[in-house]
C-alpha cells in the first residue's frame, strides 16, 4: 500500500517526535565478567516499562578503584555519566566532592518508598549526614570455594573452619600430589581481605579517622597472611587468572568474594563445587567487611526528563525485581528485602552454595574507606606491602608493619 504525501509527513513527524521523546541515560559499572549477564537479564523488563528511556552503557570499570579514579577525572573534564556504580567503600569521596547527588528529592516523591524493599539497615550503607546518596545494588562477603573432588582425593572430607585447618589441608593435598592447593584473595579490591582479617578480630582498620595499621591486630593479620602464603606455597596469580584456574579444576581451595560464584559456576569444569564460611584466626570470625556496590546519581544534566529517567533506572536496578537478577546471575546478596523475602523465597534452598554468604550476614561490618583525598594511595601502599609478603620480599612482619605505618601516615590529612 502506498502512503500519501500527507500520511508520510505525519509518519515522519511522529517518528521524529518519538525520537525526541527518547531520553538517554549514560551508565557506567565495574567488572564486566560479573555483571554483563546481570544487566542483560534486567533490560527486557526495564525497556517494557520504560519504552522512552535508552540506557547507554559506557566502558566498564576494571575495578572499584578504577571506577572512582574515572569518575574523579570525568568530574574535571565535564564528562560524568548520569548513573555510576561505585564500591561501598568509595562513596564517601564522591559525596564530599559534591559529585554524587543526594537522592532525597527523588525519594520524597515516592509513595511508600520503604515498602518497595528499601529499609534503613541497607540505606545506611549509602547515607552520609542525613541524606541518602546511593542505593545499594549488591552486597558480598568473603567465602571459601572448594573443589571437593581434589579434597576428597587427598582424604579431606571436612571443610576447614580456621586458617590452621586450611594450612593443614594444603599440606595434605601437596603430599597427595596437588600442585596448587590454594589461592587466597590478597589482591582483591580495596584491601578487602586485609580488612577481613582485621574484622575477624573485631578490629576496624580505620577508627575515628585514624588508620590502625600500628595495632596488634594488624600485625596478627600480616603474620596470618605470611603463614598462609608460605605454608601453602601459594602461587602469585593475578586474580582473574586465579578464578579461571579454580574454575578449570586446577586449584583445590580458593578464598574470594561470593560475588564471583555465578561466573565460576558458568565456567566450571567437571568437579563438585562447594562453598563454605570464611575461616577464622583460631575461632569463628567476629566480623567480616561488607563488599559490593551502590548506584549513585552523578548526572550534570539540567533537563528534568534526564534526571527523572536516571532516577527511574537507578531505582529499577536496585528494586526487588532488579536485585533478584543480581542474586540469580552472580553470588552477590541483594540488599533489597523484597528480593530476598518475596521474589527469592525458594531460591537459596535450591542454591545452597549461594546460601553460605547469607548465613554470614550477622557478621556484616563496614568496608572502610581511608580518610582524606589520598584514600586510593593508601589502598596502594597496603596492596604493595601485602604483595611483598606473597613474593617473599618481606619476611619480618614487624618491620613491614612499621614501614607501612610510616608510608600511610605521610598520606593522611593529619599526618
pLDDT digits (tens, 9 = 90+) for 150-205: 999 999 999 999 999 999 999 999 999 999 999 999 999 999 999 999 999 999 99
Q: Which of 142, 146, 150 is nearest to 160 (CA)?
A: 146
Residue 239, pLDDT above cutoff 50: yes
CA dihedral 92, 93, 98, 103 (to 10 degrees): -30
Confidence of residue 16 (pLDDT cuts 50, 70, 90): very low
What is the distance between the alpha carbons of residues 29 and 10, in angstroms, rounded to a whole number? 40
pLDDT of residue 298: 98
Please, which pLDDT band fits residue 333 given cuts at 50, 70 and 90? confident
Q: What's the average model confidence in pLDDT over 107-115?
A: 86
Reported as a pLDDT band with limits 50, 70 and 90, residue 338 is confident
Domain extents in the chain: 23-138+291-359, 142-288+370-411
The alpha-helical segments, DSSP class H, found in 176-213 are 192-200
pLDDT at 38 over 50: yes
- Of 58-62, 116-120, 362-366, where does mean pLDDT reach its minimum? 116-120
CATH for 23-138+291-359, options being 3.40.50.9100, 1.10.10.10, 3.40.190.10, 3.70.10.10: 3.40.190.10
Write the secondary structure of 288-319 as one string of H (helix), E (strand) and C (coil): EECEEEEEEECCCCCCHHHHHHHHHHHHHHCC
Is the pLDDT confidence value at 19 over 80?
Answer: no
Q: What is the mean pLDDT of the chain?
A: 91
Under CATH, which number does the domain 142-288+370-411 receive? 3.40.190.10
Indicate whether 217 pLDDT > 70: yes
Q: What pLDDT is attached to residue 18? A: 44
What's residue 44's pLDDT? 96
Q: Residue 2: its pLDDT value, please?
A: 42
pLDDT at position 7, please?
42
CB neighbourhood size of 88 (10 A): 27
- Region 241-247: mean pLDDT is 94
Quote the pLDDT of residue 295.
97
Residue that wins the pLDDT comparison between 63 and 20 = 63
Share of the chain above pLDDT 90, in %: 81
- The residue among 186, 162, 182, 166 whose CA lies nearest residue 246 is 182
Q: Looking at residues 343-355, what average pLDDT do you find?
A: 89
- Identify the band that residue 113 occupies on the pLDDT scale cut at 50, 70 and 90: confident
Give CA separation, 284 vs 68, 161, 222, 359, in Å: 33, 7, 18, 13
Which of 7-11, 265-269, 312-316, 327-331 has the weakest average pLDDT? 7-11
Is the pLDDT assigned to residue 399 strictly greater than 60?
yes
Q: What is the pLDDT of residues 363-382, one digit of tens each?
A: 999 899 899 999 999 999 99
Does residue 130 register a pLDDT over 80? yes
Quickly state the pLDDT bin for 14 (edges 50, 70, 90). Answer: very low
- Distances from the Cα of 354 to the Cαs of 186, 275, 325, in angstroms? 22, 8, 13
Judge contact between 390 and 234, C-beta under 8 A. yes
Which residues lie closer than 8 Å to 142 by C-beta, 6 or more apart? 185, 192, 193, 196, 255, 256, 257, 258, 278, 288, 289, 291
> What's the pLDDT at 20?
56
% pLDDT > 70, the chain: 94
Global pTM reads 0.87
Angle between helix 216-231 and 397-411 (nearest 10): 130
What distance in Å separates the CA atoms of residue 336 and residue 118, rounded to the nearest whole number?
A: 6
What pLDDT does residue 17 have? 40
**Strand pairing class (206-207; 273-277):** unpaired
Residue 415: what pLDDT?
Answer: 61
Edge-first strand listing for the sheet containing 182-184: 182-184, 253-257, 142-147, 273-277
> Mean pLDDT throughout 233-249?
93
The answer on pLDDT for 140 being more than 60 is yes
Amino acid at each position: 500500500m502506498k502512503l500519501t504525501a500527507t500520511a508520510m509527513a505525519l509518519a515522519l513527524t511522529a517518528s521524529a517526535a518519538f525520537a525526541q521523546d527518547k531520553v538517554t541515560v549514560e551508565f557506567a559499572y565495574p567488572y564486566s565478567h560479573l555483571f554483563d549477564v546481570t544487566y542483560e537479564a534486567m533490560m527486557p523488563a526495564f525497556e517494557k516499562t520504560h519504552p522512552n528511556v535508552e540506557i547507554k552503557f559506557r566502558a566498564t570499570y576494571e575495578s572499584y578503584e578504577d571506577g572512582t579514579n574515572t569518575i574523579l577525572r570525568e568530574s574535571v573534564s565535564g564528562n560524568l555519566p548520569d548513573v555510576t556504580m561505585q564500591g561501598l567503600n568509595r562513596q564517601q569521596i564522591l559525596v564530599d566532592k559534591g559529585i554524587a547527588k543526594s537522592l532525597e528529592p527523588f525519594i520524597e516523591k515516592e509513595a511508600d518508598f520503604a515498602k518497595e524493599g528499601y529499609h534503613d539497615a541497607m540505606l545506611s550503607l549509602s547515607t552520609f549526614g542525613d541524606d541518602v546518596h546511593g542505593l545499594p545494588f549488591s552486597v558480598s562477603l568473603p567465602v571459601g570455594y572448594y573443589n571437593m573432588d581434589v579434597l576428597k582425593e587427598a582424604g579431606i572430607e571436612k571443610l576447614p573452619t580456621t586458617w590452621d585447618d586450611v594450612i593443614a589441608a594444603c599440606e595434605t593435598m601437596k603430599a597427595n600430589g596437588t600442585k596448587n592447593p590454594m589461592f587466597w584473595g590478597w589482591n582483591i579490591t580495596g584491601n578487602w581481605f586485609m580488612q577481613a582479617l582485621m574484622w575477624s578480630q573485631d578490629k576496624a582498620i580505620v577508627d575515628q579517622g585514624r588508620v590502625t595499621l600500628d595495632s596488634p591486630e594488624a600485625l596478627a593479620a600480616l603474620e596470618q597472611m605470611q603463614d598462609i602464603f608460605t605454608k601453602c606455597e601459594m602461587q602469585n596469580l593475578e586474580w582473574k587468572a586465579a578464578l579461571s584456574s579454580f574454575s578449570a579444576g586446577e586449584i583445590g581451595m580458593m578464598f574470594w568474594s561470593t560475588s564471583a560464584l555465578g561466573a565460576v559456576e558458568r565456567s566450571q569444569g567437571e568437579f563438585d563445587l562447594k562453598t563454605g564460611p570464611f575461616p577464622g584466626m583460631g575461632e569463628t570470625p567476629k566480623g567480616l567487611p561488607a563488599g559490593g556496590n551502590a548506584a549513585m546519581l552523578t548526572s550534570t544534566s539540567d533537563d528534568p526528563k534526564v534526571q527523572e529517567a536516571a532516577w527511574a533506572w537507578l531505582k529499577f536496578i536496585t528494586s526487588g525485581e532488579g536485585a533478584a537478577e543480581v542474586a540469580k546471575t552472580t553470588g552477590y546478596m541483594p540488599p533489597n528485602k523484597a528480593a530476598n523475602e518475596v521474589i527469592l523465597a525458594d531460591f537459596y534452598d535450591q542454591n545452597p552454595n549461594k546460601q553460605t554468604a547469607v548465613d554470614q550476614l550477622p557478621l556484616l561490618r563496614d568496608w572502610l574507606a581511608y580518610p582524606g583525598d589520598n584514600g586510593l594511595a593508601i589502598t596502594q601502599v597496603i596492596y604493595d606491602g601485602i604483595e611483598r609478603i606473597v613474593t617473599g620480599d618481606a619476611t619480618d612482619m614487624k618491620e613491614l608493619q612499621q614501614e607501612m605505618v610510616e608510608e600511610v601516615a605521610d598520606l593522611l590529612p593529619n599526618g
